[in-house]
């Protein structure tokens, strides 16, 4: 019987279906429209916590319909309800911090800082998941952090509260992803999507009377209610994309969301990123792509190495 670890990579390891790429690009566009809509609302005077709560409230309703909750028991089945709740809190934290950052930062700035998340996840995966990165990936993480410093430029009068919120959004998202990795093998996909939205809706409901700020116009109502639609549809695009291709194969394409964010920022708010934002973004994207490249090579090499000790050694190099 042939050794499966010594077999060369098959076409499924290298070929990425165009449909999967298209779905990731559509998800990026959808999430960009979500951020653009949220920025419009918070700059119109609506409170960011209420906007974030409404985004998840509509999301819950749509998920119940899309997953046919009346006949789909898998979405209600959980192994650990406390972990589901904590994971939902991290996702809500990412959203609310992002909306608060959008009050003062351009769309391109917030997404550039958010692109540092894969590097932070790589760093946290060691102590939290036992997936330790080698020195090359750690060097890429340091370079990516330099990109964040280029964008925020602390000490030069440009670092403000908006950057703090953007960093908080990125950190919350990283913890959300780490928990998703921990729970993904035990919890159903439907429950992960459902409870991540339901938990913040229930927990934050008592604060709605304090932060609630109803829209002034019918158009603002339409934009507010559409947030949950964009969130649900965007996640639906991603789910179906990752059913067709691996995470590593699709990892480079979300970075193209920068194009959508720059375009929407200019069309809707007449914003154009400055040179420092573009340079910092390029550094972060290059570092992220290197980490993707390195992890892909390690995955393929581990299949050809004869034993676990050799595979562990390769990961440290």
Q: Is residue 220 part of a domain?
A: no
Give the pLDDT score at 302.
62
Q: Is residue 301 part of a domain?
A: yes
In a domain, 115, yes or no: yes
Give the confidence band of 13 by pLDDT, cuts at 50, 70, 90. very low
Domain count of the chain?
1
The Cα-based distances of 213 to 50, 54, 98, 224, 226 in angstroms read: 7, 11, 18, 11, 16
Give the tens place of pLDDT for each residue, 231-245: 888 878 887 887 777
- Residue 167 to residues 79, 97, 149, 160, Cα–Cα distance (Å): 31, 8, 11, 11
Provide the 3-class DSSP secondary structure of residue 233. Answer: helix
The owner of tokens 């809500």 is 92
Strands of the chain (E only): list them: none
- Using the Cα atoms of residue 10, residue 13, residue 14 and residue 16 in order, give the sign of their dihedral: positive
**Model confidence over 60-83: pLDDT tens digits?**
998 888 888 888 887 888 888 999
Instruction: Flag whether 191 is in a domain.
Output: no
Whether 31 is in a domain gets the answer no
**Structural domain containing residue 288:** 111-159+274-317
Answer whether residue 287 is part of any domain: yes
Asked if 85 and 199 count as a contact pair (C-beta separation under 8 A), the reply is yes
* Residue 310 resides in a domain: yes
Angle between helices 275-304 and 107-114 (to 10 degrees): 30
Does residue 188 fall inside a structural domain?
Answer: no
Tokens standing for residue 105: 């930062």
Q: Which two tokens stand for residue 58?
A: 């509509």
| pTM, to two decimals | 0.81
Q: What is the mean pLDDT of residues 286-294?
A: 80
Angle at 74 between CA 68 and CA 78, to 5 degrees: 135
pLDDT for position 258: 87
CB count within 10 Å of CB 270 equals 7
Query: Which has more pLDDT, 131 or 264?
Result: 264
Instruction: Tell me the per-residue pLDDT of 109-149, one tens digit each, with 9 for 90 and over.
Output: 998 888 888 888 878 877 777 777 777 778 888 888 888 88
């Amino acid at each position: 019987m042939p050794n499966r670890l010594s077999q060369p990579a098959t076409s499924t390891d290298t070929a990425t279906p165009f449909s999967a790429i298209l779905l990731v690009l559509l998800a990026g566009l959808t999430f960009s429209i979500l951020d653009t809509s949220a920025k419009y609302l918070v700059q119109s005077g609506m409170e960011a916590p209420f906007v974030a709560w409404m985004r998840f409230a509509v999301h819950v309703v749509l998920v119940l319909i899309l997953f046919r909750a009346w006949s789909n028991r898998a979405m209600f089945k959980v192994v650990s309800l406390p972990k589901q709740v904590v994971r939902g809190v991290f996702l809500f934290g990412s959203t609310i911090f992002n909306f608060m950052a959008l009050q003062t930062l351009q769309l391109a700035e917030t997404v550039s800082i958010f692109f540092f998340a894969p590097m932070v996840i790589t760093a946290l995966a060691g102590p939290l998941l036992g997936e330790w990165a080698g020195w090359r990936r750690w060097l890429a993480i340091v370079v990516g952090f330099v990109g964040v410093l280029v964008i925020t430029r602390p000490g030069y009068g440009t670092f403000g509260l908006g950057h703090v919120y953007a960093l908080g959004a990125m950190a919350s998202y990283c913890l959300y992803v780490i928990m998703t990795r921990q729970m993904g093998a035990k919890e159903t996909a439907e429950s992960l999507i459902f409870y991540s939205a339901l938990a913040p809706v229930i927990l934050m409901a008592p604060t709605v009377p304090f932060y609630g700020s109803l829209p002034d116009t019918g158009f603002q109502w339409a934009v507010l209610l559409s947030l949950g639609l964009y969130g649900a549809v965007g996640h639906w695009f991603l789910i179906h994309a990752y059913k067709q291709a691996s995470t590593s194969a699709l990892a480079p394409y979300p970075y193209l969301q920068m194009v959508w964010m720059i375009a929407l920022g200019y069309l809707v708010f007449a914003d154009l990123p400055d040179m420092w934002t573009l340079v910092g973004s390029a550094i972060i994207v290059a570092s992220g792509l290197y980490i993707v490249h390195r992890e892909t090579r390690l995955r393929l090499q581990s299949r050809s190495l004869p034993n676990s000790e050799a595979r562990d050694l390769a990961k440290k190099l």
